[in-house]
Structure 1
Amino acid sequence: MSTPASATAEQKSELAARYGLDQPLIMQYGHWLAAVAGGDFGISMISRQPVGTELLARLPITAELTVLAVAVSALAGVPLGVLTAVRARGGRDPGGGGAAGRLLSGLGVSVPEFVLGSLVVFVFSRYTLGLEVGAWVPFTQDPAANLATLVLPAAVLSVFAISVTARTTRDAVMGVLVEPYVTAAVGRGESPWFIVRHHILRNAATPVVTLLGTIIAYLLGGALIVEHVFNLPGVGSYIVQAVGRRDYAVVQAGVLLAAAVFIVMNVLIDLLVGVLDPRLGVLAGRRS
């Protein structure tokens, strides 16, 4: 078939009728919703393959990248926030992390993923540093090599999340440290890290867990750019390519998938927060 730029009027009409583009927008949207309810996300205009099948094939890659980035964010950001809060409360660091910590946090929040990702790709492509970029190895083929290909993308994707998590954790811990039960624990002679483990972490976890739920949605959006920069065949790069090619069925399905993940994560986070702090569940019950 001729390219869209050189297609005849008959060919354009045929394509419009095939994909329902000759109908009013409200009817197109209604037909699409009815098809989605039946599990049909449409056919890609470029590959001529079912969009649902293409998304399912790429979803494990994006999910693995997001899980690794969230794990890195939690494992690095939470301890860093707790450490700076305890040091500030103990008088050893009145600034709460010092100028260096605030500078790094500011840089982590302000540097876009595509800038940091492009820099990482250049450095690791220019110099032999033990990790390759642009090479994807499926997990079923070689788990170790698969994780090696995701180390750099996950690190780039988690920089912003680490900075925000550390800052939120620090503020939450600082708020808990002034509670009377912490003062009583100090008066009993309990060690600082025993107090942190048994009295502070769970009580300070609510805002941190809520933030992590929001970060997951943010990371899914950032994965579009990171996957494209690192040439990962995930959902993100698939949607970016679809936008450039005006493959509307893929873009619609990608937006719907992102919205569904965001809603499900928020519901799960609300349930988890109620488990971590039963007082919130009791308060919600009284209000209702």
Structure 2
Amino acid sequence: MTVVLWALRRIVVAAATVLAVGVLIFASVRLMPGSYVDVALGPLATAEQRAAAMTEAGLDQPIVVQFAQWIMGVVTGDLGRSFVSDVAIAEEFALRLPVTATVALGAIALTVIIGIPLGFLTALRSGRRGGGAGGRIVSALGISVPDFVLGGLVVFAVSSLAVGLSVGGYRSFDTDPAAFVSSLVLPTIVLAVPSAAITARNTRDAVMNVLVEPHIGAAVARGSSSWFIVRHHLIRNAMPPVLTLLATITATLLGGTVIVESIFDVPGIGAYLITALGRRDYAIIQAGVLLAAVVFIVANLIVDLVAAGLDPRLRGRRA
């Protein structure tokens, strides 16, 4: 199978996965306890009021028709309108996605800068005195502490100490660039801590697995320098699983940083979805979860293609 055919097959599989996820999202939203009409009108609404609300929201049509209309709208770029505010969801996403993306990409940058070198260092020092114990301890702590606990500790510390950073008080970049950056520094760091810890741990495991392979021993026997072995053998062979992990982390963060956005009062996609969930605003929930799924699938597709370029053996394994 040629590289082009293999890549096309991966793209077709990704598209089919998106469609399947769309079906699951549409069904799951409507199976949630408490419908939109129940939440919007309350228990004292009359049958006539409930029927009118159903008609206005388009929920009185057959479920298959509703799904077809939603999918056709998504394909054409129309994500629908909020049941509550009657505002186009695409417009809200256009305002909120840059905020979430800024926080997520900042966290990913810190994850790559800290996690991968820490993982390599811990693995390469495993046979020496101390055995990279410091790196393992840092990774374990970062993985163990939940986002909401770390976020709460950071909010408490910043509120108690004058460190020049703000909690809440978000300002758009156009209004106040300095305040924009200041308001997003803390949530970015809180998001990066567990991501960097997980990346460091997985990088260490990947490097350790490569170190025991025969070609590493052969390179050492030939007298190759440590830097040559790291550059030509370790990085190329250890990075595919790390890239897959980074794709998962990136997709998760871009899909919505719900807890951190709530703690730091950041008006991103995650906070928007939480509000919509409480109101049972199906259109927003569907669009938000589908966006997260598409980001996740596309990110993994890109990583598959990149990983296959680094290691051609993966094309035969995943074809």
TM class, shorter-length: 0.7 to 0.9
* Structure 1 gaps, min length 5: none
* Aligned counterparts, 1:179-258, within 5 A: 179-220=213-254, 223-258=257-292
Name the structure 2 match of 1:92: 129
The question of whether the paired residues in 1 share the 8 Å contact of 2:79 and 2:89 is answered with yes
Give per-residue Cα distances to partners, 1:21-65, cap 9 Å, x unaligned: 223433322332233233222211222201111112211111111
CA distance in 1, matches of 2:267, 2:167: 13
Give per-residue Cα distances to partners, 1:233-275, cap 9 Å, x unaligned: 1111111111122222111111111111111111101111012
Give the residue type in structure 2 aligned to 1:25. Answer: I
Give the residue type in structure 1 aligned to 2:239. Answer: A
Give the residue type in structure 2 aligned to 1:253. Answer: A
Aligned residues: CA RMSD: 2.3
Give the residue type in structure 2 aligned to 1:40. Answer: D
CA distance in 2, matches of 1:248, 1:185: 58
Name the structure 1 match of 2:150: 116
- Which is further off, 222-231 or 190-199? 190-199
CA distance in 2, matches of 1:60, 1:225: 17
The size of the alignment, in residue pairs, is 279
Instruction: Give the structure-2-normalised TM-score.
Output: 0.79
The question of whether the paired residues in 2 share the 8 Å contact of 1:113 and 1:222 is answered with no
Q: Select which of 103, 106, 109 maps to 2:140.
A: 106
Give per-residue Cα distances to partners, 1:187-245, cap 9 Å, x unaligned: 45444344323432222111111111111233245611111111111111111111122
CA distance in 2, matches of 1:92, 1:254: 49
Q: Select which of 184, 187, 191 maps to 1:153.
A: 187
- Which is further off, 41-50 or 78-87? 41-50
- Alignment pair present for 1:22 and 2:63: no
The question of whether the paired residues in 2 share the 8 Å contact of 1:157 and 1:222 is answered with no
Name the structure 1 match of 2:69: 31
Name the structure 1 match of 2:103: 65
Identity of matched residues, %: 53
Indicate the structure whose relative CO is greater, using CA pairs within 8 Å and at least 6 residues apart.
Answer: 2
| SS of match in other structure, 1:201 | helix
Instruction: Give the structure-1-normalised TM-score.
Output: 0.87
- Alignment pair present for 1:163 and 2:197: yes
The question of whether the paired residues in 1 share the 8 Å contact of 2:252 and 2:292 is answered with no
* Structure 2 gaps, min length 5: 1-39
CA distance in 2, matches of 1:74, 1:110: 19
